[in-house]
Amino acid sequence: MMLREGFFVKVRPALLSIACVTGSLSSIKAAAALPPPRESAELAAQYDAVSTPQWIQGRKLISLLSIQPGDSVLDLGCGTGRLAQYVAKLVGPQGTVLGIDPSVHRIAIAKRRETAGLSFQVAGSDNLASFASASFDRVYLNYVFHWIDNKEETLRQIHRILKPGGRIGISTGYRNQPSRVRERIRESIREVLGEVPPDLFLSPFRMTRKELRALAEQAGFRIVDLQILPFSDYAKDPEEVIAFLSASSSGRFLSGVDEPSRERILSVLKRKLRKLQTNRGIQMEHPAMLLVGEKPR
């Protein structure tokens, strides 16, 4: 299954007008830990097939980082390596790109993309202490930051391993981002369970634009750019929507309930998603916050 590439609409520098719950950095810290991934080789392969939205948004993030030939770049949470492969062409034969990801299954796929100067290894945000200080020109996290529990320490470590003048790039979803698909998911849960249980996993997006800025600034970064990138893609049918949600969350989607309940929710959700079907497919909205920060010289 493959999501077809969608389109960009005009980027607005201000936060989109959305109904959202106000919060603070302390509310992020107090949030319950994310459920563990349910990784498998099959899910990793599925993610490689349906991750086009993240790849397109990732290219926009990369365009803001001013990557130069010869740069050393770290792709933190590289997944199956599609974006790292693109970045390797930008740094050229004199540069290096290292992609790390905690999933052995995703890295197994990424290693098929290795070339001179482009390498991958199994590691995550908890392993950044192993890198020498001032060892990278650029570090980016493309649709990864929301999965990290200890965001403050991760940003401190990235600040340490960046060279003076080096840049960090982050793309991530934001709290209560508008989405008709997500509305149908909640409607389906309520129809089956009567309510949305607090332990039922739906989305990792918990931050506001203000909170992301504060986290980066507290780690010592000067904010170069912070914007909302509206973006839409189309899935051909309800099954493809669910495949995307499952693969992109490493199998976490709708975890927290028993399997019979999960299957009933999915059945209702498919019925509701069919009502969103158009000639182009089912529109999936993927608005992202893009942040670029610089380590002072």
- pLDDT tens string for the chain (297 positions)? 333 333 333 333 322 222 332 334 444 444 456 777 888 999 999 999 988 888 999 999 999 999 999 999 999 999 999 999 999 999 999 999 999 999 999 999 999 999 999 999 999 999 999 999 999 999 999 999 999 999 999 999 999 999 999 999 999 988 877 789 999 999 999 999 999 998 899 888 888 999 999 999 999 999 999 999 888 889 999 999 999 999 989 899 999 999 999 999 999 999 999 999 999 999 998 889 999 999 999
- CATH of residue 107: 3.40.50.150
8 neighbors 231 (Cβ within 8 angstroms): yes
Determine, yes or no, domain membership for 192: no
- The pTM score is 0.85
**pLDDT tens-digit readout, 180-208:** 999 999 999 999 999 999 889 988 888 89
Residue type (1 letter), 208: T
- 31 falls within a domain: no
pLDDT recorded at residue 10 = 31
Spacing of C-alpha 296 from chain mean position: 26
Residue 55 lies in a domain: yes
Concatenate the DSSP letters of all residues of the chain into one string.
--PEEEEE---BSSPP--------HHHHHHSPPPPPP---HHHHHHHHHH-HHHHHHHHHHHHHTT--TT-EEEEET-TTSHHHHHHHHHH-TT-EEEEEES-HHHHHHHGGG-BTTEEEEE--GGGGGGSPTT-EEEEEEES-GGG-S-HHHHHHHHHHHEEEEEEEEEEE--TT---HHHHHHHHHHHHHHSS--TTS--------HHHHHHHHHHTTPEEEEEEEE-EEEEESSHHHHHHHHHHHTTT-TTBTB-HHHHHHHHHHHHHHHHTT-BTTBEEEE--EEEEEEE---
- Residues 98-154 pLDDT 10s: 999 999 999 999 999 999 999 999 999 999 999 999 999 999 999 999 999 999 999
Q: Considering the domain boundaries, does residue 270 fall inside one?
A: no
pLDDT of residue 204: 87
Q: What is the pLDDT of residue 178?
A: 74
- Whether 277 is in a domain gets the answer no
Domain count, the chain: 1
- Domain residues for the domain of 64 are 4-20+37-178+205-252+284-294
Note the pLDDT of residue 232.
Answer: 87
At residue 34, the pLDDT reads: 75
Q: What is the pLDDT of residue 291?
A: 98
Nearest to 229 by CA among 294, 164, 172: 172
Residue with tokens 């916050």: 289
- Pull the structure tokens for residue 60: 């926009």
Nearest to residue 232, comparing CAs of 154, 160, 293, 284?
A: 284
Give the pLDDT confidence score for residue 32 in this predicted structure: 54
